[in-house]
Every structure is written in structure tokens, then in C-alpha cells.
């Protein structure tokens, strides 16, 4: 997607996001696209390219579940469809129906369902009755289940027709899983299976538009029911049947068989329910739906998982099946469990006993189990989503026998992303988050001439921490790659790139394959190991011999310290989750002690000599800004000015001035003088109350001593610093619709003093303003002569929650630039990258 202004064009380059840690959050559609929730956004990714395509804005609460119409199960019916639909439900009970037009890959919200649930939606399931008609059911933690009918338009631009068939009140123990199917026997009856917190499966039946009646209860599970899935009809001999698979927190999976027994009125014309004799119950209980009877029996009990089984799903029929010939329901089930494994179950040919035929999983100790498993429409791939917001995909690349191999998938943070920073030369983007990780995203240079060019991927996870991370700064200047991060603790931590990362980065971003020898001689650290408590990361040295420690007197029991060693290696292809989570850590080189509260913001000067840090504060002494000398890491200054938390700081591009903005609604400017013998002189030269509410953001003009401030009062103001160090207001941009939470200024033309100012808001929307600051002859900014003109980004390209930080990549040409990259991060768990082309 791109936005085109007469002078400026904005394209979307990359989105990184993790999945909400919620069961039923993911759905793989017949369109071969995967949907999931990332905070309030519905995210769509393409498994083939392993890239996120778009995010859909509309929900105001966390997205709990998504479901495609048609889903992967009905891909064989979806060949002729021009439009696919997606349902999404959130924690407020709101459900939105989205329409995807395959012709131009455009999304639009087709309709928002009338609010029928008072609490969060827990499950959505449904199926296409015909090309233009679908039935679906939704459950909520308010104890209700709604069944809906939707008629899709036959021509583009027409509206969908929606009707609520029924609302079932299921009581104080809500349902968390549903499955809908047409009952066998061509009776036109629909079955709804539901399960939840009382360990029973309830079966409801109804005619196409009739009232749903409870037909029977299925008992057997001894803990919460977590997943249910009906198979497509199975034709075996004379009797038609469908199979229902259920999984539970009792670690077991059960397969139930529903068999059509015929019409109750086919002999006498009338019937009495009492006439169903005991003989009919020998094969299993019989229930009545409409004027037909069905027998239900337990087909099999599958035991193999060692923890809660969160999802079970029947394998979709082959896409090659033709409707005239009849489709074939494969006897194959995929299950996903909190024991970190997914299993494929199939009956043995001779005995018919269901066996586990494939087991895949993440055996690393950092994966904490799977929340759901999904088949691809062609059943050649399986996808899991895990506790840590991560995806895991395996593809069967075997020809004569199964060979399931891990595949690349999109990745990203699974909590608010709090800061981003570009590498010195722009080779990669570093982000930190409240998910307690630091991640590095970079374009992976594709050496295959048949491919579509470079794609952005997560290539390293330098820090996996025990506290939420609030801020980070990359050290500028010469030498190895280093960054400082600040979390919800009083210590700032310094990290240095290990040799394994340098080799990976070189391979990913360079045309040449040979690695520079001088770098290899300088860097003696290969990687890092995580400590048992997950706070410090200790180096692994290049020449270290791997010693096997004998745990004497331990009696074979694991201790807290028995964390497996990382195996850092240079990567030749984008890493998968298992490698990222454990083998790409950077060693911690220093800790910076001094602040009295948890850290809030960090910045580094452009020479790479000083780092400034601030922490959360409610008094002037705690709100001090500390200056640290890069290299020796001594505290060389404590700058006092503000009385509340300093929210952002930035050095001017000549490093002479340090700008700080605060919750106390003031900005401060400090003059920094560097004496020859590494001593620092600093002096507060200006302080001014600039806004009526908290100032969240600030940014310097790269070509001068002008700067911008953005505030909760919905305004952005441009200021100029004069030679006398007094500050004058130059311009106030027109008031925005939402609080301004992020700013970043980039230079376009040094001679004309032209630049672009990116503005991010609490609503998630982004705007780019072109600024031209005129100067008088003696280089003093003249108030009132700055001009501005606007580009609004399409909401489908923007964040869906507050933008927390914006950062322009440093242009390669410092004098004149037309091709720029803008990175943004937000509370919606997303890291986004845009290409901005100025014509």
C-alpha cells in the first residue's frame, strides 16, 4: 500500500508484530492467508512470503479471536470466490466482519455486528452454506452463544445482510469453544457443539433457520474443554456420519462419531420418543433432531500430550477434490498443546487404532507451550502460535515419506514497543518492548535471482530480560556495535555485538561473502549465555573450550542454574524462533548505576562520546538527567532542571546542546562543553513552560538549532535557539485530533533548510509535515516564517494504538535527500517501516 501526494509518496516496507497470547486468536483461511490479533489490530500475513501484509484498524480493545469465511477446511469450495471474509472479536464483545477483494487485495470493514455480547468474545466458528451464504456462531465470557446468518453481496460495493438466528444463554460457566456442522443424511439440519468450563460437551441441533434445541451432553473429559472440531461428512457403507474431535485440559483428545439412523416417521408416520428401545443404545446413545434420529458413540481416546491440549483440527480435504465426485475427509487430526509439541494423529491401516504419526515442537526451554495449531489449506504445512507471541511453522517437504521441516514466519513483539533506534549506518533497526526483549530487524539480501528482492526479518534478539524494557540508545561513532537499554529497574545496561552477530549481519546485508579479518581479530566474544534469573547475559569467548560440568551431589535433579548453553553461530538464512530466542544474545559489558527509580529514556550524542539517561520521577532530585562517558562509563554529569519525569531527550546535531522535555510541561536546553581532557562542562541555558499538558516528544532540526515539541494538549510547536541561547517560538502547527506522542525531524536540503517532520498520535495515526525554516543573514532563525504542508497516512498503514516513537534513518547524503525511511513503534505491539520518496 502507498500514499501518493503530489510531492511525496509513502510506501509500507515492513511490519513486525507478535500474536496475542490468547487461544482461538489465529485462523488460516481458504485464501491461504493467516489472520491473528496483535493488541487491538487484526493482522494479516502471507505464509509463503513470511511477511505481514497489512493490519486492520477498527477494534478499540484487545482482539481475542479471528475466523475466516471460508476457512482452510472449505478451501476446496472456494476456488471461484472473488471475495473472502474475516470475522474478528475483541475483549469488549465487539465483532467486525471484514471483506477482502482478491482482485486488488483491498480490505474494507463490511459491517460491525450489533453488540450482543456484554463481555469478551471467546470463540468464533462458522462455515459457508453456499457461495453467498454463511452461518457462524460466537461465544462470550458473559455466558451467551449467538448464532448468526450472513448473506454476502453478489456484486461489489453492495452491503452484507446479517441476521441473528438465536441467542443461547448457557449459564454461569461460559463456553470457550464452538464448532458448527451440517448433520449427515442430507437432512438440512445443523449441529452446534460447545464446550467450556464444566467439562461437558453440549450438542444443539436446529433446522437451517429454526430454533436450536439441546440434543445431548457428552461426558468423559475431566477438565475444561478447550477445542472442538467437526469433520466433514464421512461416507462409510450405507450410514452417513460425521466425527467430532474434542480436546481438554485433562491432556486427552476424544473422537466422537455421529451416525445418521434415519427418519423417525418412515415406518409408522408417527412416533413416540419412548419407543426407542434399549437395543438401540448398545452401540451408543441416540438423540433426536427434528424428525430424524442420530446415534453418537466414542470412537477413540488419544493419549500422548503431557500438558493441556489447547487445539484440535481435522485435516482439510484435498484441493484437487471436485464437488461432483465428492470430497474426501482425510482421517487425520492436528493437535497443539502446552507441552510445546504439535502432533498429527491418524488411524493405523490394519487395526484402525488412532496413533500419533508426527510430532513437531520447540524443545528449547524458552518456549512455554502452544496456544493453537492450524493446517494450511493444502495440508502441506502446519502452524502453531505460542505463549511468547511467536509463530512456528513446519512444511512437509518429503516426497515418498513425511519430512516436516521448520519454516520462516513473521515475528515481532507481543507487548507495547517502547523505543526504536537505527544502527549508525542504518544497516538494522533495534526495538525494545514491555515483552522484555530487545530485537533487531534488518533487510536480508536475497542471493537467489529468482526471488523478489530483499525482505526485512528479525535477525537477532540481543536481550531477553526479566523486566519490561522502556528505552534504548545505539552508541554512535566508531568501533563495534553497542547499545544501552533501560528497563523497569534502576540500572542501565550496555551490550556489545558478538562475532556471531557481526558475521550474520555481514552475510545478510552485504554482497560479499568474505568477512573482514580485522574485525574478527578485534572481537573475541562469540555470543552470550542467559543467567538463570534472566537478568545478566554472560559472554561466550571465541577460544573457550566447552567444559562439561559435573553436577556432583545433585542426584540428577535440575537446579536453577542448569540452563542450557547457547550455541551462537553465523546465520546464512533468516533465523526461526528457536534460534532467535536463545542463540542470538549479546553479552552485557557494563551496568550503569545511579538513578533512584526505573529508567524512562536514553539518548546518545552523534559523536558517540556521551549517553544521557533519565528515570521516572516525582521530585526535582530524582528527575536529574545523568550523563555517562562512553568507554569508561563513568557518570560525568547530573543535570537538574525538571521536577517530574523527563520523557525524551535529544542532542542537537552538532552535539553542543541537549534538549529535554518533561511531564512538568517544560523543555530545558543544556549547553555541553567538552574540555580536552575528557571533562564535561554543562550549563542550563533555557527552560520554558511550552505546553498546557505533558510534553511527550521532541526532535531537533538536523540542519540547525530549531526543534519541535509535541504534547498531550494536541499541539506541535517549532522553536528556534538564538545565538544568545534564548529560545523563541517560530510556529505552532494546527491543532491535531489526538495527543501528540512522537516526533522525528529529518533534513532534506541543507542549503534551503528544508525538512520533514513526522508526527505520531495517541490514536495511532501518522502525519508527515514538510517544514521550511527561513533564516536571516546572520543565521538567526526569524520567528513566524516557517511553512508547513501535510501528508496524512491512510489508517490501514498506521498503528491502531498510541505511536510511542518515530525515527528517521540517517540519510546517506547529509546535504540533500529524496529517498528516506521512517520507522515507528507503538502500543499495538507493531514495529513499522515506511519508505518516503520526495519528488
Taking only the tens place, the pLDDT of each residue in 248-270 is 999 999 999 998 887 776 534 34
Cα distance between residue 719 and residue 727, in whole Å: 7
**Among 139, 169, 199, residue at a domain's last position:** 169
Per-residue pLDDT, 761:
96
- The verdict on 519 and 463 lying in the same domain is yes
**Among 367, 399, 431, residue at a domain's last position:** 399
Question: How confident is the model over 49-71, as pLDDT tens digits?
Answer: 999 999 999 999 999 999 999 89
Q: Who wins on pLDDT, 208 or 625?
A: 625
Cα distance between residue 602 and residue 647, in whole Å: 9
Q: Starting at the edge strand that comes first in sequence, how are the strands of the sheet with 680-689 ordered? A: 646-651, 657-662, 666-674, 680-689
Among 238, 236, 282, 242, which Cα is nearest to 258's? Answer: 242
- The verdict on 602 and 717 lying in the same domain is yes
Helix (H, G, I), strand (E, B) or coil at 100: strand
Cα distance between residue 306 and residue 460, in whole Å: 31
- The verdict on 595 and 638 lying in the same domain is yes
Mean pLDDT of 782-806: 84
Per-residue pLDDT, 324:
47
- The verdict on 126 and 40 lying in the same domain is yes
Contacts of residue 799, defined as CB under 8 A and 6 or more positions apart, other chains included, come to: 41, 760, 764, 765, 766, 824, 826, 827, 828, 830, 832
- The verdict on 815 and 697 lying in the same domain is yes
The angle formed by the CA atoms of residues 583, 426 and 826, to the nearest 5 degrees, is 75
Cα distance between residue 511 and residue 492, in whole Å: 36
Residue 308 lies in a domain: no
Per-residue pLDDT, 536:
73
Among 558, 535, 551, which Cα is nearest to 485's? Answer: 535
Strands 133-140 and 63-69: unpaired
Per-residue pLDDT, 39:
93
- The verdict on 433 and 383 lying in the same domain is no
The angle formed by the CA atoms of residues 108, 114 and 119, to the nearest 5 degrees, is 105
The angle formed by the CA atoms of residues 78, 79 and 83, to the nearest 5 degrees, is 65
Question: How confident is the model over 393-407, as pLDDT tens digits?
Answer: 999 988 888 899 999
Question: How confident is the model over 670-707, as pLDDT tens digits?
Answer: 999 887 667 788 999 999 999 999 999 999 999 889 99
pLDDT of 802 strictly over 80: yes
pLDDT of 603 strictly over 60: yes
Residue reference for cell 424428525: 291
pLDDT band at 817 (very low <50, low <70, confident <90, very high): confident
- The verdict on 491 and 639 lying in the same domain is yes
Cα distance between residue 633 and residue 759, in whole Å: 34
**Among 154, 169, 184, residue at a domain's last position:** 169
Mean pLDDT of 17-39: 94
Q: C-alpha distances in angstroms, 476 versus 425, 613, 651, 657, 801? A: 9, 15, 12, 17, 30
- The verdict on 369 and 428 lying in the same domain is no
Cα distance between residue 719 and residue 10, in whole Å: 27
Cα distance between residue 308 and residue 463, in whole Å: 30
Question: How confident is the model over 89-109, as pLDDT tens digits?
Answer: 999 999 999 999 888 888 989
Q: What are phi and psi of 83, to 5 degrees?
A: -130, 135
pLDDT of 809 strictly over 90: yes
Residue 699 lies in a domain: yes
- Say if CB 665 and CB 691 are below 8 A apart: yes
- The verdict on 641 and 509 lying in the same domain is yes
- The verdict on 464 and 374 lying in the same domain is no
Percentage of the residues of the chain whose pLDDT score is greater than 70: 87
Per-residue pLDDT, 566:
75
- Say if CB 443 and CB 13 are below 8 A apart: no
Q: How many domains does the chain have?
A: 3
CA 145 to chain centre: 28
Which three cell numbers, joined as nine digits, stand for 385?
502460535
Among 149, 153, 129, 151, which Cα is nearest to 137's? Answer: 149
pLDDT of 80 strictly over 60: yes
- The verdict on 468 and 351 lying in the same domain is no
pLDDT band at 3 (very low <50, low <70, confident <90, very high): low
Contacts of residue 767, defined as CB under 8 A and 6 or more positions apart, other chains included, come to: 736, 758, 759, 761, 790, 791, 792, 793
With b meaning 16 or more CB within 10 Å and e meaning fewer, what string describes 69-95? bbbbbbbbbbeebebbbbbbbbbbbbb
Residue 742 lies in a domain: yes
Residue 268 lies in a domain: no
- The verdict on 681 and 819 lying in the same domain is yes
Which three cell numbers, joined as nine digits, stand for 771?
517544514
Cα distance between residue 402 and residue 42, in whole Å: 33
Q: Tell me which residue range forms the domain holding 737.
A: 417-545+565-838
Residue 27 lies in a domain: yes
Beta bridge partners of 439: 431
Per-residue pLDDT, 236:
57
> The CATH number of the domain where 31 resides is what?
2.130.10.10
pLDDT of 272 strictly over 50: no
Mean pLDDT of 733-750: 92
Residue 823 lies in a domain: yes
Amino acid at each position: 500500500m502507498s500514499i501518493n501526494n503530489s510531492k511525496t509518496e509513502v510506501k509500507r516496507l515492513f511490519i513486525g508484530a507478535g500474536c496475542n497470547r490468547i487461544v482461538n486468536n489465529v485462523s488460516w483461511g481458504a485464501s491461504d492467508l493467516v489472520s491473528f490479533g496483535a493488541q487491538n489490530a487484526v493482522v494479516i500475513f502471507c505464509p509463503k512470503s513470511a511477511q505481514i501484509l497489512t493490519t486492520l484498524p477498527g477494534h478499540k480493545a484487545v482482539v481475542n479471536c479471528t475466523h475466516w469465511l471460508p476457512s482452510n477446511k472449505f478451501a476446496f469450495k472456494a476456488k471461484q470466490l472473488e471475495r473472502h471474509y474475516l470475522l474478528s472479536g475483541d475483549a469488549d464483545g465487539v465483532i467486525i466482519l471484514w471483506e477482502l477483494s482478491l482482485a486488488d487485495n483491498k480490505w474494507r470493514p463490511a459491517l460491525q455486528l450489533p453488540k450482543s455480547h456484554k463481555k469478551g468474545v471467546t470463540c468464533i466458528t462458522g462455515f459457508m452454506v453456499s457461495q453467498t451464504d454463511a452461518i457462524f456462531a460466537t461465544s462470550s465470557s458473559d455466558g451467551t452463544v449467538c448464532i448468526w446468518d450472513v448473506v454476502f453481496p453478489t456484486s461489489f460495493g453492495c452491503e452484507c445482510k446479517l441476521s441473528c438466528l438465536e441467542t443461547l444463554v448457557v449459564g454461569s460457566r461460559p463456553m470457550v469453544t464452538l464448532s458448527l456442522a451440517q448433520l449427515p443424511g442430507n437432512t438440512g439440519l445443523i449441529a452446534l457443539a460447545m464446550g467450556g468450563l464444566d467439562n461437558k460437551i453440549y450438542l444443539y441441533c436446529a433446522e437451517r433457520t429454526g430454533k436450536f434445541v439441546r440434543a445431548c451432553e457428552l461426558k468423559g473429559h475431566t477438565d475444561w474443554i478447550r477445542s472442538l472440531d467437526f469433520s466433514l461428512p464421512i461416507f462409510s457403507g450405507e450410514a452417513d456420519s460425521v466425527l467430532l474431535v474434542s480436546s481438554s485440559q485433562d491432556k486427552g483428545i476424544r473422537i466422537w462419531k455421529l451416525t445418521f439412523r434415519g427418519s423417525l416417521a418412515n415406518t409408522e408416520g408417527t412416533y413416540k420418543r419412548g419407543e426407542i428401545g434399549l437395543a438401540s443404545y448398545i452401540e451408543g446413545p441416540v438423540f433426536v433432531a427434528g424428525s430424524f434420529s442420530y446415534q453418537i458413540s466414542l470412537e477413540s481416546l488419544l493419549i500422548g500430550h503431557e500438558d493441556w491440549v489447547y487445539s484440535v483440527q481435522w485435516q482439510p480435504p484435498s484441493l484437487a477434490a471436485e464437488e461432483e465426485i465428492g470430497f474426501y475427509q482425510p482421517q487425520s487430526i492436528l493437535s497443539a498443546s502446552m507441552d510445546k509439541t504439535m502432533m498429527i494423529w491418524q488411524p493405523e491401516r490394519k487395526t484402525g487404532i488412532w496413533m500419533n504419526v508426527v510430532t513437531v515442537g520447540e524443545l528449547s526451554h524458552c518456549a512455554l507451550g502452544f496456544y493453537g495449531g492450524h493446517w494450511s489449506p493444502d495440508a502441506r504445512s502446519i502452524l502453531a502460535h505460542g505463549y511468547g507471541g511467536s509463530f512456528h511453522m513446519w512444511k512437509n517437504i518429503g516426497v515418498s515419506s513425511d519430512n516436516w521441516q521448520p519454516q520462516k514466519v513473521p515475528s515481532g513483539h507481543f507487548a507495547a514497543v517502547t523505543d526504536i533506534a537505527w544502527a549508525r549506518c542504518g544497516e538494522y533497526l533495534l526495538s525494545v518492548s514491555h515483552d522484555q526483549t530487545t530485537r533487531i530487524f534488518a533487510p536480508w539480501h536475497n542471493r537467489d535471482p529468482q526471488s523478489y528482492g530483499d525482505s526485512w526479518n528479525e535477525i537477532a534478539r540481543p536481550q531477553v530480560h526479566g523486566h519490561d524494557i522502556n528505552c534504548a540508545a545505539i552508541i554512535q561513532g566508531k568501533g563495534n556495535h553497542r547499545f544501552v537499554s533501560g528497563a523497569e529497574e534502576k540500572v542501565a545496561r550496555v551490550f556489545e555485538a558478538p562475532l556471531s552477530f557481526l558475521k550474520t549481519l555481514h552475510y545478510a546485508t552485504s554482497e560479499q561473502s568474505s568477512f573482514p579479518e580485522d574485525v574478527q581479530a578485534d572481537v573475541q566474544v562469540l555470543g552470550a549465555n542467559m543467567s538463570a534469573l534472566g537478568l545478566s547475559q554472560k559472554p561466550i569467548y571465541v577460544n573457550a573450550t566447552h567444559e562439561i560440568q559435573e553436577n556432583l551431589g545433585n542426584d540428577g535433579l535440575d537446579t536453577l542454574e542448569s540452563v542450557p548453553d547457547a550455541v551462537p553461530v553465523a546465520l546464512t538464512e533468516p533465523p526461526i524462533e528457536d534460534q532467535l530466542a536463545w542463540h542470538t544474545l549479546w553479552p552485557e559489558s557494563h551496568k550503569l548505576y545511579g538513578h533512584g527509580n526505573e529508567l524512562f529514556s536514553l539518548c546518545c550524542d552523534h559523536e558517540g562520546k556521551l549517553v544521557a539517561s533519565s528515570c521516572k520521577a516525582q521530585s526535582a532530585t530524582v528527575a536529574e538527567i545523568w550523563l555517562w562517558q562512553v568507554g569508561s562509563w563513568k557518570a560525568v554529569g547530573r543535570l537538574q532542571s525538571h521536577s517530574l519525569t523527563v520523557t525524551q531527550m535529544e542532542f542537537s546535531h552538532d552535539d553542543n546542546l541537549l534538549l529535554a522535555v518533561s511531564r512538568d510541561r517544560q523543555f530545558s536546553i543544556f549547553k555541553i562543553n567538552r574540555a580536552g581532557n575528557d571533562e564535561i562542562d554543562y550549563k542550563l541555558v533555557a527552560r520554558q513552560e511550552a505546553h498546557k499538558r505533558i510534553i511527550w516528544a521532541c526532535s531537533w532540526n538536523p540542519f540547525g538549532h530549531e526543534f519541535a515539541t509535541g504534547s498531550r494538549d494536541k499541539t506541535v510547536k517549532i522553536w528556534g535557539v538564538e545565538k544568545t541561547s534564548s529560545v523563541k517560538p517560530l510556529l505552532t502547527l494546527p491543532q491535531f485530533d489526538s495527543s501528540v506522542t512522537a516526533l522525528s525531524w529529518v533534513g532534506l536540503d541543507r542549503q534551503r533548510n528544508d525538512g520533514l517532520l513526522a508526527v505520531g498520535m495517541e490514536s495511532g495515526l501518522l502525519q508527515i509535515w514538510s517544514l521550511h525554516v527561513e533564516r536571516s543573514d546572520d543565521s538567526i532563525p526569524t520567528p513566524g516564517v516557517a511553512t508547513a504542508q501535510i501528508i496524512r497516512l491512510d489508517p490501514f498503514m498506521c498503528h491502531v494504538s498510541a505511536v510511542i516513537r518515530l525515527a528517521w534513518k540517517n540519510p546517506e547524503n547529509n546535504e540533500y535527500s529524496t529517498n528516506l525511511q521512517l520507522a515507528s513503534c507503538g502500543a499495538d505491539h507493531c514495529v513499522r517501516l515506511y519508505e518516503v520518496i520526495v519528488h
